[in-house]
Structure 1
Amino acid sequence: MRAFLFCIILLFTSHPIATGLPARLYIWNVGQGQWTTYVSSNKCVHFDMGGEFAPKMRIKTMCRERRNFIHLSHADTDHIKFIFWGKKNLNSLCLIQLPREKLSSKKKWLLSSIPKCKEQPTLANELPLPKHLIKPNDLSRVYVLNSKGQDVLIPGDSTAVAEQFWRTSPELKKIKFLILGHHGSKTSTSDNLLRALPNTLLAIASARKKRYGHPHKKVVDRLHKYSLPLLRTEQWGNISIEM
């Protein structure tokens, strides 16, 4: 047990990245919400940019001199709240593509204020969804971040309904780290999805149990059933993984 905890501490000790060091993935402690950033020597690739609060000065220090790209899963406030801040504070921030769902006029204005990326980093693959889904969470974009065998599944707020379509992707067999869908809601991270992740080592929840009840007990029990350890930003703070 001590050896296991020592390995976890080594793996998830969070520190700024400098030129020449390996890339890292940061799952920021934003309360209930999502902001995950892949940081390499010359770029920051953000997956959503939301939450109740955020370590903005730390992110600014780390990413302001790098090129900044953002993938959006969908347009809920807890996924896009800090986009305007990012536009003002992060160098050359550009949006890879708009969310799938229909946007309110306010959100459309906000997202259209971010320039579209003229080129895209090749780190992340988006898993396909059928066209007949209509609910916003069902339409959430699902990404697989590929980095030297440390593949990460970032499903946004995707639901069990949507999981049945994208969980058949062969890419899921390579996933090492799972960021819980919909912050650990019981309507995501189904048994069927977990069965499709035979090589996953760890699940991570970006959520607040004390206020919102996430991750839900049913999800925690499912993870235990498949022997998947769980880290929570609420308990650990910012979590980083060497990529």
Structure 2
Amino acid sequence: MKRRLFLKLIIMVLIFCRFFTSCNYSTNDNMETNNSIEKNDILRVHFIDVGQGDSTLIQVNGFNVLIDAGPNSASYKLLPYLIGNDVEKIDYVIATHPDEDHIGSMDEVIKNFNIGILYAPKLTKNTDTFINMVKALKSKGLKINVAKDDIALNLGEDIILDFLAPIEENYEEVNNYSVVTKLTYKNISMLFMGDAEDLVEAQLLRDKVDIDTDVIKIGHHGSSSSTSDDFLRVVSPEYAIISCGKNNRYKHPHKETINKLENAKVAIYRTDLLGTIIISSDGNNITTTTMDQAK
């Protein structure tokens, strides 16, 4: 109860700040800009620092898309971040799979924002985290829409978010149910792997799916169970984003994955080291911005 009241207080303060400029609320503190794409360019992809977990916000053409919501402990950080970036409605929410580090704060997101459609794999989990997400959806008259590999979300002119996985209906490992998506905007693209492991990577290669991309959100927080040599060679990214928590008990990212990326000369950006990472693009150029939230 205390946690819920404190969270509501934070949200009320942030909403107040949006309407009264004297508060000077900004998400740009401690940010370092590496390139010079102008602010009015169309695409922003925020790889939000939620600790040991995943949460990505895509903003384009007035659309907001949220992929995952981090662990339960991330709500204090995630909700203010969304509000600070002018999010009122989330048109599409993607819960890549039902692990707590991906949907832990999803119930709070659903309760506090206007939600359009939520996609998730056809998989349930008997945990408080999953049950709370379903209850929050039902309280708003919403339901889970099953994610399939033939779905494509039109996010306005020249930009599509394609669902590439899950490919099968039954996997032994929960991570392999992950919703994998690819965002294409003019001449650039980004691949979001959830926690998909090398089995799914092999299936994408087998099916000759177009996975060549400029930016990849590395699967399973940089675990050695993902990012196989063959997969990385075909993806051939310029940038790799790894979402993980500082000094996490899983030791993510694993050295094997870092070595592969370094050998392939891929620029590595890690939320545990850099805080939230923002990729911006005009469809031809890419710029990266980091926010070290540890400062």
Please give the root-mean-square deviation of Cα atoms over the aligned residues, in Å.
Answer: 2.7
Aligned-partner SS, 1:10: coil
Matches within 5 A, 1:127-166: 127-128=164-165, 129-166=167-204
Q: Would you say the 8 A contact 2:49–2:271 is kept in 1?
A: yes
Q: Would you say the 8 A contact 1:159–1:188 is kept in 2?
A: yes
Superposed CA deviations along residues 186-233 of structure 1, whole A, max 9, x for unmatched, are: 1111112101113x1010110125223111001001111211121111
- Structure 1 distance, partners of 2:60, 2:178, is 26
Output the amino acid matched with 1:138: N
Equivalent residue number for residue 274 of structure 2: 236
1:10 to 2:29 alignment: no
Equivalent residue number for residue 56 of structure 1: 79
Matches within 5 A, 1:151-190: 151-168=189-206, 169-173=208-212, 175-190=213-228
User: Which stretch of the first structure deviates more once superposed, 101-110 or 203-212?
Assistant: 101-110
What is the Cα deviation at residue 93 of structure 1? 1.1
Q: Would you say the 8 A contact 2:98–2:124 is kept in 1?
A: no
- Structure 2 distance, partners of 1:73, 1:63, is 24
Equivalent residue number for residue 124 of structure 1: 161
Q: Would you say the 8 A contact 2:59–2:65 is kept in 1?
A: yes
TM-score for both structures, normalised by structure 1: 0.83
1:87 to 2:101 alignment: no
Equivalent residue number for residue 225 of structure 1: 263
Output the amino acid matched with 2:245: R
Following TM superposition, the consecutive aligned residue runs of length 4 or more in structure 1 with deviations greater than 4 angstroms are none
Q: Would you say the 8 A contact 1:43–1:63 is kept in 2?
A: no
Aligned-partner SS, 2:273: helix
Number of aligned positions between the proteins? 229
In structure 2, relative to structure 1, the CA distance for the partners of 1:166 and 1:32 (3 Å cut) is same
Residue of structure 2 aligned with 1:33, choices 53, 62, 67 = 53
Equivalent residue number for residue 193 of structure 1: 231
Q: Would you say the 8 A contact 1:73–1:142 is kept in 2?
A: yes
Output the amino acid matched with 1:65: E
Aligned-partner SS, 1:102: coil
Equivalent residue number for residue 134 of structure 2: 111
Q: Would you say the 8 A contact 1:38–1:44 is kept in 2?
A: yes
Residue of structure 1 aligned with 2:44, choices 1, 4, 24 = 24
Equivalent residue number for residue 18 of structure 2: none
What is the percent sequence identity of the aligned residues? 24
1:215 to 2:292 alignment: no
In structure 2, relative to structure 1, the CA distance for the partners of 1:65 and 1:144 (3 Å cut) is same
Equivalent residue number for residue 284 of structure 2: none
Q: Would you say the 8 A contact 1:178–1:203 is kept in 2?
A: yes
Output the amino acid matched with 1:46: L
Q: Would you say the 8 A contact 1:208–1:215 is kept in 2?
A: no
What is the Cα deviation at residue 102 of structure 1? 3.0
Output the amino acid matched with 2:105: F
In structure 2, runs of 5+ residues without a counterpart are 1-31, 146-151, 155-159, 282-295
What is the Cα deviation at residue 8 of structure 1? 6.9
